[in-house]
């Protein structure tokens, strides 16, 4: 376990316990920043009333921790919580600025919205259509015909490749959309949209990191040979792909920087696909995983610390 700095002068609240938390804690400690976890979910959060000094309240966090000191004394937050409802309470309790705030998270999560902004800014993106349910089958098939098969069907607001499918013909497409219709028919489903997007065969998949407007490094995401032999095609690390550091050409670096500029997001993962010598932006992620230090340019940790400190002064 890493020993925190003896005299940290800034506290950063992080609402994830994944690899990013561990890496931030270890790598920001030498820069005088104490990284601490604030749990936003799978618990009971006090919203109003029943102050923490009420003797009848328990102290078990899972049962509803009334300790208001849990949220006190932070200077900045890392990334706004992915669960927006809980995030609103956490945000109010902390009362600090976020490196990537709610607007940044929402802008990137909305795949169609971010792609529209990128396309309007002149950035190359895959041909894409947004389908807002309910829609007639003929309209879906017409949009698919304009793009051409095979194509990718993906929910508009999920991450980690969840719900993404590749279809090669109209019958397969309608089979996938039938399931989406069932999900969207449920009243509690907030997002009733999905994307039809051109599939780029044999494309090389990259994740570039842009920190404070500047390219900071990239990895190539690829599937092991065994996975390819099984017919897998998603280059998603959470689904078995590996990520290895690469040096992107200047044109691709600039493209990633332009994407972050167009979306006005300080820390952004930019997914790039390269096919036939051409790069396109396929998605963005305002909650990017912080990878091992060797996958970024020299000085990345110091620049990240500087961004956190600047955020704290907002």
- Helix-helix angle 170-184:137-147, to 10 degrees: 130
Q: How does residue 50 score in pLDDT terms, banded at 50, 70 and 90?
A: low
Structure tokens at 228: 């390819």
CATH superfamily of 204-295: ATP-grasp fold, B domain (3.30.470.20)
Residues 266 and 222: beta-carbon distance below 8 Å: no
pTM above 0.75?
yes
What per-residue confidence (pLDDT) applies to 63? Answer: 39
Encode pLDDT of 66-120 as tens digits.
556 899 999 999 999 999 999 999 999 999 999 999 999 999 999 999 999 999 9
Distance from C-alpha of 191 to C-alpha of 294, rounded to nearest angstrom: 38
Higher pLDDT, 263 or 17: 263
CATH number of 127-198: 3.30.1490.20
Structure tokens at 270: 């930019």
Encode pLDDT of 178-196 as tens digits.
988 888 877 656 788 999 9
Inform me whether the pLDDT recorded for 39 exceeds 60: yes
What per-residue confidence (pLDDT) applies to 189? Answer: 66
What per-residue confidence (pLDDT) applies to 90? Answer: 96
**To the nearest whole number, what is the mean pLDDT of the chain?**
89
Q: Average pLDDT of 26-36?
A: 97
Inform me whether the pLDDT recorded for 3 exceeds 70: no
Percent of the chain at pLDDT exceeding 70: 90
Structure tokens at 204: 């090389």
Q: Averaging pLDDT over each range in 1-15, 98-112, 215-229, which range is the top one?
A: 98-112
């Amino acid at each position: 376990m890493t020993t925190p700095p003896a005299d940290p002068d800034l506290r950063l609240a992080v609402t994830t316990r994944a690899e990013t938390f561990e890496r931030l804690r270890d790598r920001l400690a030498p820069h005088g920043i104490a990284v601490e976890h604030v749990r936003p979910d799978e618990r009971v959060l006090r919203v109003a009333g029943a102050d923490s000094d009420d003797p009848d309240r328990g102290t078990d966090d899972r049962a509803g921790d009334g300790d208001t000191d849990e949220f006190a004394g932070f200077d900045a937050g890392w990334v706004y919580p992915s669960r927006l409802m809980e995030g609103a309470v956490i945000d109010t309790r902390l009362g600090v600025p976020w490196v990537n705030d709610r607007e940044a998270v929402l802008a990137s999560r909305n795949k169609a919205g971010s792609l529209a902004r990128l396309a309007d800014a002149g950035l190359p993106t895959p041909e894409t259509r947004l389908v807002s349910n309910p829609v007639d089958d003929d309209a879906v098939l017409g949009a698919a015909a304009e793009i051409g098969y095979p194509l990718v069907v993906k929910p508009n607001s999920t991450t980690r490749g969840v719900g993404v499918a590749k279809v090669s013909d109209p019958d397969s497409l309608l089979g996938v959309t039938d399931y989406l219709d069932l999900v969207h028919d449920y009243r509690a489903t907030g997002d009733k949209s999905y994307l039809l997007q051109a599939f780029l065969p044999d494309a090389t998949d990259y994740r570039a990191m842009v920190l404070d407007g500047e390219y900071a490094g990239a990895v190539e995401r690829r599937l092991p040979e065994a996975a390819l032999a099984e017919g897998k095609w998603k280059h998603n690390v959470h689904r078995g792909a590996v990520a290895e550091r690469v040096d992107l050409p200047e044109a691709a670096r600039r493209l990633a920087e332009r994407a972050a500029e167009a979306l006005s997001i300080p820390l952004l993962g930019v997914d790039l696909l390269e096919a036939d010598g051409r790069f396109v932006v396929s998605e963005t992620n305002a909650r990017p995983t912080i990878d091992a230090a060797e996958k970024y340019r020299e000085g990345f940790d110091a620049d990240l610390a500087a961004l956190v400190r600047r955020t704290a002064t907002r």
